[in-house]
A and B are shown apart, each in its own frame.
Chain A
Amino acid sequence: DTGVSQDPRHKITKRGQNVTFRCDPISEHNRLYWYRQTLGQGPEFLTYFQNEAQLEKSRLLSDRFSAERPKGSFSTLEIQRTEQGDSAMYLCASSFEVEQFFGPGTRLTVL
């Protein structure tokens, strides 16, 4: 499969725990995006990388969220001290120029 992949697909955690998600973009894509999607809503932009540089971060993203793309390939999204309100689908997308292609997402449930 040459599409965007994400791991894990599902994560259940207790409130206060830290979680980390991984995204592997399509191999030739230099841009990578993280979005969050809650039930019944469209994806909400979180952050964007061009190669290894994080160029934009949503004002809605609290300091508990951090993302990295150390070598310009895969990316990780970490949520520290999770809260029940963090429960959502976390989607990654990648692009070479304009068109963004999404991964299957990681569904996070915070108990």
Chain B
Amino acid sequence: GENVEQHPSTLSVQEGDSAVIKCTYSDSASNYFPWYKQELGKRPQLIIDIRSNVGEKKDQRIAVTLNKTAKHFSLHITETQPEDSAVYFCAACISGGYNKLIFGAGTRLAVHP
């Protein structure tokens, strides 16, 4: 069935280090892959997304890569800061549309000063 797996579930890094979160998806028709950041008690916030016609996208310290053949996509955060600490969710839009998002289970990132 429709599924997005996300790893790791928790990630602890020192300030200034890089963090990488990886996701795999099952629906080969998926064409849109957003990433959300959720701080405790707050709404999920869209931080970056990528569409299937692009292999990589970068926005300042954040980048996302997509490998459609392997059905993998990853979030890369460089020069991490304490304010990057949050839960990060990957998602995939299934069935070739742009409507139904299937989310991963989340990665709790802790950035230690």
Q: Which residues of A contact B (CB under 8 A)?
A: 4, 31, 33, 35, 40-45, 48, 55-56, 91, 95, 97-105
Residues of A within 8 A of B42 (CB): 104
- Give the residues from 39 to 78 in chain B that come closer than 8 angstroms, CB to CB, to chain A: 42-46, 49, 51
Residues of A within 8 A of B32 (CB): 98
Q: Which residues of B contact A (CB under 8 A)?
A: 4, 6, 32, 34, 36, 42-46, 49, 51, 89, 91, 93, 98-106
Q: In the complex, A101 Cα to B49 Cα: how many Å? A: 12
Q: Is the CB of A100 within 8 A of B43?
A: no
Q: 24 A-B pairs, CB-CB below 8 angstroms?
A: A4-B43, A33-B101, A40-B105, A40-B106, A41-B105, A41-B106, A42-B89, A42-B104, A43-B89, A43-B103, A45-B101, A48-B99, A55-B99, A91-B43, A98-B32, A98-B98, A99-B34, A99-B46, A99-B49, A100-B46, A100-B101, A101-B46, A102-B44, A103-B43
Residues of B within 8 A of A45 (CB): 100-102
Interface of B is mostly: strand
Residues of B within 8 A of A99 (CB): 34, 46, 49
Ranked nearest first, the 7 interchain pairs of A and B with the lowest CB-CB distance are: A42-B103, A102-B43, A98-B98, A42-B89, A102-B44, A104-B43, A48-B99
Most buried by A among B36, B89, B101, B104: B101
Chain B residue nearest in CB terms to A48: B99
Residues of B within 8 A of A98 (CB): 32, 49, 51, 93, 98
Q: In the complex, A99 Cα to B46 Cα: how many Å? A: 8
Residues of A within 8 A of B49 (CB): 98-99
